[in-house]
Structure 1
Amino acid sequence: MSVMETTTSRFGDMPGDAGPPVIGYTKQFVDGTLTTSRDRFERDGPVTWLKAMGRSWVMAMGPDACGEVLQNRDRAFDSGPGWGLLIGRFFRRGLMLLDGAEHHSHRRLMQEAFTSHRLAGYLEPLNETVTAGLAAWPRDGALDFYPTVKQLTLDVATRTFMGEQTGVEADRLNRAFVDCVRAGTAFVRFPVPGLRWSRGLHGRAVLEDYLRPRIARKRAGDGTDLFSALCHTEVEGERFTDADVLNHMIFLLMAAHDTSTITLTTMAYHLAKHPEWQDRARAESEALGTDAVAYDDLERLEVLDQVMKESLRLVVPVPGLSRYTSKDTTLQGYPVPAGTYIATNLYSVHRYHEWWPDPDRFDPGRFSPQRREDKVHRYAFMPFGNGVHKCIGMYFGGMEIKAVMHQLLLKYRLEVPDGYTMPLDWTSLPRPSDRLPLTLHRL
């Protein structure tokens, strides 16, 4: 019996195909074109099967199918083993890789580090780090925005989350995070020196060596940073072990600076390309009358909020979420047997033409009070996921992005050449393949 026949029998009459012999759609899975292509959605509909990475996958596309997986009302779609296949060796036992009662317990403890009171306390060191970082940028001229802002967000994460600055170790830590993330889509998944998987394992070791010696000091101290909060938080007698703190810190530091970097990069590109929106956002920041935002100022940056949400829609920082079926279930009426990997495609949700008119156009007004296109369907807009695994740091991320953009817009005008389009590399997480060259003009 052929591979196609065997796989088809597992999924009943679900549309799909195995792709090229042996490798299936692995290349497209690795380079991100499987995520960003709309051909499969238009041809097969919201649920389809395929072969990639030597395994059968079911891909959920569009708001209804993705919402059904992420809401997980049948408790059949597990996050841990879904992500474990891809990044488990590098971000093991991070919150995203836990399920059930264990996930609930860890999330309840971690939530204490993300209360509104804690967030307000993080804002002062965050603002100070942004001010110092921007002071080192050129007054005028060319700037490769993506690597520069990535360094800034790593500095923000380490200062805010750890209460310290990385200094000379910054480049080594940044490389370690990049290698861990990109190893998730490695084709060769054993440690061949020089290849992605091996670099990811080395990156994980670098991060452990950096963080582990600091745990005892954080437990003994009375710091207000997130690292200290994880070391001291106790709910109904439960506390994190040292191993828990280490795993959660590695995952949070990665998630905090990578996703913020992607969103800030997308916002800077669109604001440079659409100066009318840049002028509106700058005027709003100027009206606050302060060089650095206070916590109560954040909700007043309405234009910047619309630009941020539209940027998240167009380039969702984590465009696909992985799950694994722990039991036989169904998805949009199709049978899905236990032991199936699920690829939940958020890119397709945010480009779904039935809910988003002219979906490829940058139009922050979609999120204005008069339009609110994100409310036409309960799952039309999910940049932070949905269900019990919805991103725990979403409010911190929004705060950081607005704080950075507020200071940036007060200091600089951003420009790109006429006709320029940012080329995106969707391998692992999206990033500009040309590092996004901007021209800065000091105001």
Structure 2
Amino acid sequence: MTTTNPKTLPLPPGNFGLPVIGETISFFRDANFTDKRYKKYGSIFKTSIFFSPTVIMVGSEANLFLFTNDNKYFSNKWPPSTKILLGSASLAIQNGGEHQNRRRILSQAFQPRALAEYASTMEEILQSYLHKWEKMGTLTWYPEIRKYTFDVACKLFVGTDAANNSNFVKLFEQWVGGLFSIPLSLPWTSFGKALRSRKLLLKQIEEIILQRQQQPASNNDALGMLLQATDDDGNKLGVEEIKDQILTLLFAGHETLTSAIASMCLLLAQHPEVLAKVREEQQQLGFSQLTTENLKQMTYLDQVIKEVLRLVPPVGGGFREVIQPCEFNGYLIPQGWSVLYQVPKTHQDNSVYTEPSEFDPERFAPSRAEDKSKPFSHIPFGGGMRECIGKEFAKLEMKLFAALLVRGYEWELLPGQDLSIIPAPTPYPKDKLKVKFVRLNS
């Protein structure tokens, strides 16, 4: 796809906006930022966001080009605020050989054997929350789901009940609030508050690490595995790096999963015919115990989860830096620019998906398999060598949540609430999902 001399080609259409800040403010504030420009310019256009000229590319062909040319034309990139707040040792920030090496180490925490161990802990935590929600009767569900996923992430990644520590939770929420912000490190800005929270969070995580180093080795959680892991030269990971990696895992295992689970609960409530089919599958399978092996047999639930992640993807896209000028669709993508691929617009492609704005899990049935018509047309976890390392963990947690929920409970959306989706930092319903929650047949 690259010509011998791409530099002679035109730049993509588009507008850089204001000097220095470009269109960054519109990018943050306008939920239809990409949509408007896509309608005006097509599937590739230029803008300027996060202080960098940027090409936004939409669609499965663009994703294929990007994901198969990582480390050739493109290198991983994050907005400045995200890069600083995740930390230089975070897997999300690392590049090249270092990234591959650390990815191999961290992936041990997401192997099938580890996931099988996690399932019973997830179930135990979820059961306690289901009982709590039943007692509440009516509740605002989104913040409760956040507490649940954070409990799970703390237990399975750090081995602690840190979620019971309200100070830790508060600091974490403040840190997340600045991840995608304008990096002004003043005390009252989102970024300034997040920087302070990061420092205090890392102090608490370091205390946990030092305690664990005094205890017998354990493989029950990600921290235990990281403490024992060695790199290619046989060296153990340093405490500073483990702190950044743990913070990244807590973010990835909590923020995006909260969004995905809340979207699943909302869409099932809005589509009772789909919920009925999910229940029917559970009754037919009739497992009293939910193991990772049993979960594999829930094929209709798989389709539902894929459709939830297609319709309301928790992550909107990903940045790359152009390390070598290249050509795509007849346009020059200059060295030093940023590229942003787009997940929601990819998932709305009507050349791939029939009536893409409809919630239709059957589109993923083997007889239709709409996502298989083009590579990288279903990318809730990204793709290529930087595909989300916790993909199977996320699917396990969503599946377990859905199976236990539909077996034992009913939930009804309370009237008069705004269910429109706020897109950032991860999508959630505006009024945070108010429901009536009751035990089945009670």
> Quick one: distance in 2 between partners of 1:303 and 1:419?
31
Deviation of 1:173 (Å): 3.1
Match of 1:146 in 2: 142
Match of 1:278 in 2: 275
> Quick one: distance in 2 between partners of 1:24 and 1:168?
42
Deviation of 1:422 (Å): 2.1
SS at match of 1:90: helix
Match of residue 156, structure 2, among 153, 156, 160? 160
Matched, 1:251 2:251: no
Match of residue 180, structure 1, among 141, 165, 175? 175
- Name whichever of 25-34 and 242-251 sits farther off: 25-34
Kept in 1, the 8 Å contact 2:101–2:231? The answer is: no
Off by >6 Å, runs of 4+ in structure 1? 418-421
> Quick one: distance in 2 between partners of 1:362 and 1:184?
30
SS at match of 2:85: coil
Alignment of 1:389-400 (within 5 A): 389-400=386-397
SS at match of 2:127: helix
Matched, 1:91 2:92: no
- Name whichever of 243-252 and 61-70 sits farther off: 61-70
Deviation of 1:30 (Å): 1.3
Match of 2:4 in 1: none
Matched, 1:221 2:219: no
Match of residue 26, structure 1, among 15, 24, 27? 24
> Quick one: distance in 2 between partners of 1:185 and 1:259?
14
- Name whichever of 415-424 and 219-228 sits farther off: 415-424
SS at match of 2:138: strand
SS at match of 1:33: coil
**Counterpart AA for 2:200:** V
Match of 1:17 in 2: 15
Alignment of 1:9-408 (within 5 A): 12-19=10-17, 23-31=21-29, 33-34=31-32, 37-72=34-69, 75-79=72-76, 82-83=77-78, 85-92=80-87, 93-139=89-135, 141-169=137-165, 171-187=166-182, 189-219=183-213, 220-223=215-218, 224-234=220-230, 236=232, 237-290=234-287, 292-408=289-405
Kept in 1, the 8 Å contact 2:102–2:231? The answer is: no
> Quick one: distance in 1 between partners of 2:100 and 2:50?
30
> Quick one: distance in 2 between partners of 1:73 and 1:262?
28
Map Cα deviations across residues 271-320 of structure 1 (whole Å, 9 max, x no partner). 00111111211222233434551110111112221111111011111111
> Quick one: distance in 2 between partners of 1:337 and 1:328?
5
- Name whichever of 11-20 and 125-134 sits farther off: 11-20
SS at match of 2:118: helix
> Quick one: distance in 1 between partners of 2:30 and 2:402?
28
- Name whichever of 403-412 and 147-156 sits farther off: 403-412
Kept in 2, the 8 Å contact 1:66–1:346? The answer is: no
**TM-score, scaled relative to structure 2:** 0.91
Match of 1:5 in 2: none
**Counterpart AA for 2:181:** A
Map Cα deviations across residues 139-168 of structure 1 (whole Å, 9 max, x no partner). 473221111111000001111222221254
Kept in 2, the 8 Å contact 1:416–1:438? The answer is: yes
> Quick one: distance in 2 between partners of 1:11 and 1:85?
29
Structure 2: tracts of 5 or more residues without a match? 1-6
SS at match of 2:254: helix
**Counterpart AA for 1:18:** F
Map Cα deviations across residues 246-281 of structure 1 (whole Å, 9 max, x no partner). 111100111001111111001000100111111211
**Counterpart AA for 2:217:** D
Kept in 2, the 8 Å contact 1:32–1:427? The answer is: no
**TM-score, scaled relative to structure 1:** 0.91
Deviation of 1:370 (Å): 1.3
Evaluate the alpha carbon distance shift between residue 436 and residue 292 of structure 1 in structure 2; reply closer, same or farther with a 3 A threshold: farther
Structure 1: tracts of 5 or more residues without a match? 1-8
SS at match of 1:137: helix
Match of 1:6 in 2: none
How many residue pairs get aligned? The number is: 430
> Quick one: distance in 2 between partners of 1:309 and 1:206?
37
**Counterpart AA for 2:26:** Q
> Quick one: distance in 1 between partners of 2:338 and 2:258?
29
Query: Among the aligned pairs, what percent are the same residue?
Result: 27
> Quick one: distance in 1 between partners of 2:8 and 2:162?
50
